[in-house]
Amino acid sequence: MKATRLNLLNLKSIPIRTFWISAIAFFICFFAWFGIVPFMPDVVEDLGLTPSQKWNSIILAVTGTVFARLLIGKLCDRFGPRLCYTWLLTIGCIPVILIGLVQTPLQFLLCRFLIGFIGASFVITQFHTSIMFAPNIVGTANATSAGWGNLGGGANRLGMPLIAAAVVSFGVADEIAWRYSMVIAGIVCFLMGLVYFFFTQDTPEGNFAELRKTGNMPVLKKDKVSFVSTLKDYRVWILFLVYAACFGMELTVYGTMDDYLQNSFGLERITAGNIVLSFALMNIFARTLGGFFGDRFGRLKGLRGRVLFLTFILMAEGIMLSVFSLTTSLAVGIIFLVAFSLTVQMAEGATFSVVPFINKKAIGSISGIVGAGGNVGAFLAALFLKSKSAMAESIAIRTNEGLGEEAVKAAQAAAASSAMSNGYFIIGIFVVVAAISAFAIKFSTADEEAVFQEMEGKMAMSTVES
């Protein structure tokens, strides 16, 4: 039976145990995915990366994930989340390990691209929790598992340096400790793949393969839904855009905010890094809040209520980012940055409180498409900011040639700050437009009634066909 409560201490419950293992697996994937970020100064020095190659590594890190997320959703519908997660972790660990062995910038960029494939773990996590929890709690379960998994993208800023310090204590040279740290992260991914295989199952009733043998397939596979028909549903593409506007922008802001805070407010690298870390750590509760309020509005206003809350919180996100981009005071800027952090993560949770209700027979495919939207958004936003920043910096360098190295660096920092500020403002406007488009998502009366009956207990909570 699907769980109707998120009782996190009830580890005897299959849905709860799956929730924990899935969230931990997602955490480890994100930890490894962005594990190289704290070491980038060492990597730049070790491999001799140019500024352009450094930017390209950021873009490539999210590019591979687009393809992986599109594919993994369909694979989940067919083979089940247990096997998909197992293979993703055990194969995905290979480029994580190999990046610790690279010797050239090209090898490094290739590994960053391939490591991005483990970002597809998000889709499997959302798929698995979607078929483990009932409609009254699925938004909260999805948001919490994803939010706690996303913590891996911030925890690596503390965890990776600690791993490197431990490696150095065994006599490894400090300048190559990043290599050993990435190898260790890859090994942990492999071990987590084994845990997923032996300690989870696809549905509360059993694994897909077993259910096929007994003739009891989950409801989501009752009728085969073609991938093409999924692509024709306009609501899927609106949610694709919405997730590009929330998760995509979170990735972009998270990846560029260190430099922006240093250039705009004169902060030290460590201070700026700690601020960005606190921004990431808000995933502990912020994304859960988005799912919680999505469920709450769903109980009050039905599926339409979920959409209305998503529209509201996404619009708030865009406004907060645009206002932040205009601030010149650090104190005021931090207030709006925190507000942006809260709303962007709540919007992510609210998005996946809507996704499970678009088409229950194609949850995997839809989750994959929407999840890929986040990475497409991050990719395009990173390209946009790179072009603006690079152009502004090159003009500043040419204009201030001959004035001394310090003057050129100061002009370059000011130009980058102004370009990024303008870029953040434009991105905020894009988010508001995406929020308005979300209002167009509609559900039929039959969809509303089916969910209402299931929540009221008039429909069986089982995921197995009778």
Q: How far is the C-alpha of 242 from the C-alpha of 7, rounded, in Å?
A: 30
Residue 383 has pLDDT above 90, yes or no: no
Q: Which residues contact 82 (CB under 8 A, 6 or more apart)?
A: 196, 197, 200, 201, 202, 207
Q: How far is CA 214 from the centre of its chain?
A: 36
Rg of the chain over Cα atoms, rounded to whole angstroms, equals: 22
Closest CA to 315 of 279, 350, 286: 350
CB-based burial label for 434 (10 Å; 0-12, 13-18, 19+): buried
| 239 vs 6, residue with greater confidence | 239
Amino acid, single-letter form, for residue 413:
A
3-state secondary structure of 133: strand
pLDDT at 182 over 60: yes
Q: What is the mean pLDDT of residues 119-146?
A: 91
Task: Tally Cβ neighbours within 10 Å of residue 379.
Answer: 22
Mean local confidence (pLDDT), 15-25: 95
Give the C-alpha separation, 143 to 287, whole Å. Answer: 5
Q: Around 11, how many Cα atoms within 13 Å sit in the side-chain half-sphere? A: 4
pLDDT of residue 225: 64
Burial 144-159 (b: 16+ CB within 10 A, else e): bbbbbbbbbbbbbbeb
Backbone angles phi, psi at 215, to 5 degrees: 80, 10
Q: What is the mean pLDDT of the chain?
A: 88
Does 221 score more than 70 pLDDT? no
Angstrom distance (rounded) from CA 464 to CA 220:
9
Contact 287, 346 (CB under 8 A): yes
What one-letter code names the amino acid at 137?
A: I
Q: What is the pLDDT of residue 465?
A: 38
Q: Mean pLDDT highest for which of 139-143, 274-278, 337-341, 418-422?
A: 337-341
Q: pLDDT tens digits for 244-296?
A: 999 999 988 887 888 888 888 888 877 887 888 788 788 889 999 999 999 99
Q: Which residue from 189, 181, 182, 176 is spatially nearest to 164, judged by alpha carbons?
A: 181
pLDDT, position 218: 52
Contact 253, 382 (CB under 8 A): no
More confident residue, 244 or 412: 244
CB atoms within 10 A of CB 54: 15
CA distance 84 to 89: 9
The confidence score (pLDDT) of residue 463 equals: 40
Structure tokens at 41: 């100064």
Query: Is 86's pLDDT higher than 90?
Result: yes
Residue 458 three-state SS: coil
Over residues 48-61, the pLDDT tens digits come to 988 778 878 888 88
Q: What is the DSSP string of 328-376?
A: --HHHHHHHHHHHHHHHHHHHHHHTTTGGGT-GGGHHHHHHHHHHHHHH
Residue with tokens 């077993």: 210
DSSP 181-195: HHHHHHHHHHHHHHH
What percent of the chain clears pLDDT 90, i.e. is strictly above it?
52
